[in-house]
Structure formats: structure tokens, C-alpha cells
Amino acid sequence: MVRLHIGVIVRAMGDAVQISANGWAMIAQVRFRELKTRLGLAAFIAATASFLTGGLWPVFWLSLVGLTQLVDWLAFRPLRLHPGMEPSLAYKIGLCAVAALNVVVYSGIAAILWIAGGEAGRLFAMVQVAGGLLHVSLHMHHVRPLLFSAVIPHSLYFLGMPITESLVSGTWQDFLIAIGGVLFMMHLVVAVRQSSTTTKALQDANAEAQAQRQKAEVASAAKSDFLAVVSHEIRTPMNAVISAANLLRRTRLDREQREHVSMLLDAGDVLVGLLNDVLDFSKIEAGKMQLESSEMDLRDKLASLGRLWRPKAEANGVRLAIQIAPDVPDTVRTDPLRFQQMLFNLLSNAVKFTEHGSITVSVDWREADRRLIVAVADTGCGIAPDRLANIFDSFEQADAGTTRKYGGTGLGLAISRRLAEIMGGRLTAESVVGQGSTFTLNLPVELVQTTERAPKRAAADERALAGRVILAADDHAVNRRILALLLEPHECRLVLVENGAEAVEAAMTQSFDAILMDMQMPVMDGLTATARIRAEGMNRRTPVIALTANAMDVHRAAWDAEGVHAFLTKPIDPALLAATLAEACVQDVEAREAAVA
């Protein structure tokens, strides 16, 4: 019985720790949960009483306990079902009365055992009432009226039995038992007080943690908003600067002017890279980086990275080689954008930190666990052993002079490693100062069966744009001018409008081959305009390309929901813009032909 009581007490202490705002409701839950235990205990006590005193009277007591427990169950039921309710005063008084009645009946058997159970009966009665006292004290102490309602009848039994006995018998043994009872009660008061203080402290700590979490969530949301706004505001003027530099490069320039334009474009690229890195990093930190899964032609991807970085490496007299083991599959399923981003970072570093020798990208395949092992090895300056562990931390560079000499922010490797981990892989580094570094990407990918491989869409010829009619909506005059200049060489006809409403109007009166749509515009935004164009009129099926400075994932998701053909971010990459438009126009014709057939 003592063990059973201890079990109940330990559970009650656990419950006391997670006190809800409404203590009454919580006690209702606890009482319901422990109903079976109380009934089980009562059956055990009845059996013991029957054994100690003989006769079947404990069965009568057990029935009475069953009845009072039923009343208890009914009384606390509304609170249990509606924990949010605030009990009225009358209801509270009723609950206290029920709790007191329960104790009077439940511990009543102790009084009978005290009188009729002999030495063993007295001991049993004291232990039973002490256990009950401890139990109600611990699980009801956070609602004082209920606590007193249960503790008072318990105490009357607990102290009343030995005190009356000592008065009647006048023996020093009974007197000692009464003093023991009083001492127990005093200890109990201290324990309950202590438990209340601890519970209150835990409650306060919980509330504080909750408040802090809410604050952190608000701060995180504010940070995301801030980043979205800053990103948009920086991208818009940067689009003008970079596009103007691109346009300038197409004009007749002397060598010095050409160099100046190149500087401008390089700086623009660095700024865009930085902006993307900061956005990616904050996305990863917030656990909001979402991966895509699509087919990737591995050899194609590596060849294009080679085409991008080889001229830069060779300009420094460094050879760039790409070695792909024959058993490496042609096509795999992964997130191609993130794969490219990681290798781009590794190659960018290898080119940046290698002044002579070579850079080798080697790709191997581990069939057993379907992993690509991509190693980017260079013969560059290398990294000191004590810095090697830190280079994957955010904003860490191997030494203080790096930024001065090579630029960079120290975010590239941090992002790449986190991306590799999110994708289920690993990115590690080995390096010897003066001899070079090897970065190894170990990445699980899915194999694509050759039969299920999607047919490759033929790259659209950019000349496909000649004679096409394209609608472009952008509220910035500079952006509209830039679009016109960028698309001029492609001999397409551009209809420029200033907001979504004008775009809808234009789309109602004329058929277009493709539509370029900005996101944030006065009068009507790009998303609404796209939805309207899609709803009715002759451009319902015309491919829409989002061309926007809102580069966050939420924006991309919003455009995806509208079913846009592509999502391009500003600053505009002229080649990508032309290729995407050409592809959209070709696809549009194919779709219309298919619809006719």
C-alpha cells in the first residue's frame, strides 16, 4: 500500500510541475486519472480490514467509497471537459464539499481499524491516513480551498485518533504516538510550502521561457521582413546599375573604358552574391531552407561550371580539370540549384586562393549507399591546421588579411556545409599550408532510371524572339528603359506598361507571346494581374515570367502558386532573360499547336 501511495505521490508531484493556468481544471484531470488507483487501493484496504477484524463490513465501506467516487467523478466532470472554464463560486464550494466528503468516507475506515484492528490495525490506519495526507497535500496544494477541504478531515483522523487514545488510556506510548503525528504534520506543512515555492518558481520560469520564445519569434519574423525589404530595395537600384553596365559593354568602348565597365560588373556580381548569401544564410538559420528535388544531368552541370570558372583560373595561369569516373551516373535526382551553389562556392574559393598549379574537380560514385563524392583539390596557399576547423563557421576567414587581399565574407563555406547537411551529406576539408586544399562533398542522391528520364527540352534559340510581341509590366521607368534596351537586339516588339491594371487592360485587347511581370506595383500588383489575365481573355495561356526584386522563397512560392512559367530575380541577367523568354515563346507555340491538334 505504501508503494502504491508513493507511486501516486510521485505522479502528483509531476503534475504539480506542469500546472496549468486553471489549477481547478488541472486537479479535475488528476483526480480522473487517479480514479482507478483510488478504487484499487480501496479494495486492498477493504481486504486488509476484513482480514484484521473479520466480518464483511468492509464491503459496505467499499460500496460507500464507490458511491462517493462516482459523485466526485460527476462533480469534476464539467471542469475536465472544459478546462478553460472559470468555475463559479457555488461550483467551487460544491467541489470543496465533495473533496471533503470523499476524504471523510475514504479515511473513515482508518478510524474503525484504529479502534477494532488491534496493534496491526492501528499501524495500518496511521500509515494509510499519512499516505492520504501526503497525496492530497502534493496534488492539491496549488488550489488552497480544495487543499484545506481535503487536508482538514485527514488531519482530524490523523491527529484525532492518537490524541483521543492517549487522553482515554493516559499511557505514555499513546502520548508519544500523538506527538509523532504532530511532528509529521509539521514536516508536511514545510514540504508543502517548499513544493509550492518550487512549483511557483517553475511556473514563473515556464512563463518567462514562453514569453522569451514569443519575443524570439517576433524578432525572427521582423528580421525576415527586414531582409525581404532590404533585399528588394537593394536589388531595384542594383538592377539599374548592372543592366546599364551590361548595356554599356555592348557599345563601342576603348580598352580603358572596357576595363572600367568590367570593374563595375564584377562589383555588381559580388554585391548580388553577397545579397544572395545573406538571404540564404538567414533562411538556413531560421530552418526555412526548402529543398527541391529534380533530375540533374551531372556531366552537363559540371561542364557548365567548368565553362564558367576555367577562363578565370586560366587567367591566373592555373589549369582547371574535371575528372568524372566512368561509373558515375549521367542523371541523378537532387536539388540542382543547391548542388550548383555548393560547387560554385568551392570552385570560387579554389580559383581565388590558387595562384599557380592546378585545380582538379574529381567525381566518384559510391554504389553501396548511392553517394556522389565530389572533391575539389587545388594547389593554392592552403589553410593552417588551427584555422581549418573554423573556416566552416559563419563570417570566418582563415586569417585577418583574407578580406583585404581576396574580399569575401566568410559565408560561402558555412552555407555550403549547412546545405550539404540539410541534403543528408557532408562537406569536409583537408589542407596543407603552401601545398593546397581539398574540399570533399559527400552527397546522397537518387538514381534516375533511364526509362523514366524526362526528355530534354531543346534549348530555345534566342533568335526565336525575333518578331515576338512581349508585354512587360514594371512601375520603375528606369527598369522599363533597361528592359527595352536589353531586348532591343533580339528584335522583339515590347509593349511596356506601368502597373498590373494596365497589364490586364493590354492583355484584354491584344495577344502576346509572353508576359514579363513585376511583383510590387501601384494600382494592381503583379500577382493579382497574373491571376486576372489567367482568368479570362485572349492571353489566358500566355506564359508569364515573374521578373522581380522580391527574391525570397515566399515570393517564389506565391508566383509558383499562380503557375508562372519562370521566376527571374533582379538584377536582370541579360542572357538568362533572353533564353527564358525564347523558351517561353517556343513552349507557348508548342502548347497552342497541341491544343489545336
User: Which residues in this chain contact ligand ADP in the complex, by CB under 6 A?
Assistant: 345, 349-350, 353, 378, 380-381, 383, 391, 396-398, 402, 408-414, 437
Q: Which is nearer to ligand ADP, 152 or 270 (CB)?
A: 270
> Cβ 358 to ligand ADP, closest distance in Å?
12
Which residue, among 487, 555, 549, 552, has the nearest Cα to 527 in the 3D structure?
A: 555
Q: Which is nearer to ligand ADP, 378 or 583 (CB)?
A: 378
Q: Which is nearer to ligand ADP, 380 or 571 (CB)?
A: 380
CA 255, CA 325: separation in Å to the nearest integer? 43
Q: Which is nearer to ligand ADP, 211 or 270 (CB)?
A: 270
Chain centre distance of CA 153: 52
CA 420, CA 291: separation in Å to the nearest integer? 11
Q: What does each C-alpha distance from 177 to 160, 181, 183, 395 come to in angstroms?
A: 11, 6, 10, 72
Q: Which is nearer to ligand ADP, 68 or 402 (CB)?
A: 402
Within the chain, what is the greatest distance between any pair of CA atoms?
A: 122
Q: Which is nearer to ligand ADP, 49 or 420 (CB)?
A: 420
> Cβ 420 to ligand ADP, closest distance in Å?
13
> Cβ 377 to ligand ADP, closest distance in Å?
9
CA 576, CA 25: separation in Å to the nearest integer? 63
> Cβ 350 to ligand ADP, closest distance in Å?
5
Which residue, among 11, 1, 60, has the nearest Cα to 31 in the 3D structure?
A: 11
Residue pair 372/441 in contact (Cβ under 8 Å)? The answer is yes
Gyration radius of the chain over CA positions: 39
Ranked by CB distance to ligand ADP, the top (closest) residue is 408
Q: Which is nearer to ligand ADP, 143 or 363 (CB)?
A: 363
Q: Which is nearer to ligand ADP, 326 or 401 (CB)?
A: 401
Long-range contacts of residues 75-78, Cβ cutoff 8 Å, at least 24 apart: 76/27, 76/28, 76/31, 76/32, 77/28
Single-letter amino acid code for the residue at 160: G
> Cβ 435 to ligand ADP, closest distance in Å?
11
> Cβ 389 to ligand ADP, closest distance in Å?
11
> Cβ 364 to ligand ADP, closest distance in Å?
20
Q: Where are the beta strands (DSSP E) in 244-314?
A: 294-297
Q: What is the dihedral of CA 548, 553, 558, 561, to 10 degrees?
A: 120
Contacts of 437 (CB under 8 A, 6+ apart): 350, 353, 377, 378, 380, 382, 383, 429, 430, 431
What are the φ/ψ torsions at residue 455 (nearest 5 degrees)? -65, 140
Q: Which is nearer to ligand ADP, 236 or 282 (CB)?
A: 282
Residue pair 80/17 in contact (Cβ under 8 Å)? The answer is no
> Cβ 7 to ligand ADP, closest distance in Å?
56
Single-letter amino acid code for the residue at 55: G
Question: Which cell numbers hold the place of 572?
Answer: 536582370
Residue pair 397/408 in contact (Cβ under 8 Å)? The answer is yes
Q: Which is nearer to ligand ADP, 347 or 470 (CB)?
A: 347
CA 150, CA 159: separation in Å to the nearest integer? 15
Q: Which is nearer to ligand ADP, 177 or 413 (CB)?
A: 413
Single-letter amino acid code for the residue at 145: P
> Cβ 245 to ligand ADP, closest distance in Å?
23
> Cβ 310 to ligand ADP, closest distance in Å?
16
CA 199, CA 141: separation in Å to the nearest integer? 10
> Cβ 360 to ligand ADP, closest distance in Å?
12
